[in-house]
Amino acid sequence: MIKSLSIIYPIFNEESRLINIFLDIESFNKETKGIRKEYIFVDDGSKDKSKTMIKNFILMVIMQ
């Protein structure tokens, strides 16, 4: 049985796709409650709002 899982998201100007990624993460979290998960976002110098969106998502998750 898997006890933990790390998922890496390479990000470069993904502003338009991040909402779907966040929704997928929330859905996956509900489906896999017994597994410790780590999500790693690697931003390769995005020029859009990707970095801000990721920070806001992290804050939202922490506040829950």
Q: What predicted TM-score, i.e. pTM, was given to this entire model?
A: 0.86
Cβ atoms within 10 Å, residue 54: 20
Question: Can you tell me the distance from the alpha carbon of 45 to that of 40, in angstroms, rounded to the nearest whole number?
Answer: 15
- Residue 48 lies in domain: 4-63
How confident is the model over 37-60, as pLDDT tens digits?
A: 999 999 999 999 999 999 999 999
Give the pLDDT confidence score for residue 13 in this predicted structure: 97
Number of domains composing the chain: 1
How confident is the model over 3-17, as pLDDT tens digits?
A: 999 999 999 999 999
